[in-house]
Chain A
Amino acid sequence: QVQLMESGPGLVQPSETLSLTCTVSGFSLTSYNVHWVRQPPGKGLEWMGVMWSGGSTDYNSALKSRLSISRDTSKNQVFLKMNSLQSEDTTTYYCARTGSSYYFDYWGQGVMVTVSS
């Protein structure tokens, strides 16, 4: 069955780099797109970026200068790296899947990241 699971540190120091991993199962990264979406506590959803099935990426213009998404298809993993973290980056990070129609049909359970010294 289709599953996505985020993993990464729960606590990151201000100005440091966040590294998250989305490990997927039940589908191929070369057939589906994997997005990163974040959500501050009690607030709405913010799309961050996408690893397209073909291997290219797109980013939210507001985050583009700090964000990098990559993948390892042999390990069924998609990676997020975001630098220069600040307190406003304290949020839950989700990875989610889309197919050829770009609605999110499966989501990971999310990983909460706190930026604090």
Chain B
Amino acid sequence: DIQMTQSPASLSASLGETVTIECRASEDIYNGLAWYQQKPGKSPQLLIYNANSLHTGVPSRFSGSGSGTQYSLKINSLQSEDVASYFCQQYYDYPPFGSGTKLEIK
């Protein structure tokens, strides 16, 4: 099984700041990585797929990068509506999900 290590577990940042969330896979996942945003009481929503492709309708302040075993999600110009939990998912093998990052506004 591929293990996904996501960090940090929680994050507090100011409005307008840039934040980065990382996921590390236990082996190469060949860019098979997606990022999801989950707001309180809602289902997860796809942000990024194939490590760096922005899903339709997702604001351009969200971006993904990485390769091999190391991947990151960057949020530029943090907005209040970005308060949520963020999960990575590898789709090279199962089980797929990282443990999540809870993002709050400072």
Residues of A within 8 A of B (CB): 44-47, 58, 60, 94, 96, 98, 101-105, 107-110
Contact = CB atoms under 8 A, between A and B. Distances in A.
B12 interface: no
B46 A104 contact: yes
Contacts of A108: 43
A60 B94 contact: yes
A103 B43 contact: no
A110 B44 CA distance: 10
Given A44-B87, A45-B87, A105 B46 contact: yes
Contacts, number: 52
Contacts of A103: 34, 46, 49-50, 89, 91
Interface in B49-106: 49-50, 55, 87, 89, 91, 94-100
Interface of B: 32, 34, 36, 42-46, 49-50, 55, 87, 89, 91, 94-100
Q: Which of B55, B87, B95 neighbours the largest number of chain A CB atoms within 10 Å of its CB?
A: B95
Contacts of B49: 101, 103, 105
A72 to B, nearest CB: 23
A109 B44 CA distance: 9
Closest 3 A-B residue pairs measured CB to CB? A102-B91, A103-B34, A107-B43
A104 B95 contact: no
Residue among A58, A101, A103, A110 with the most chain B CB within 10 A? Answer: A103
Contact of A101 (B42, B91, B94, B96): B91
A98 B96 CA distance: 13
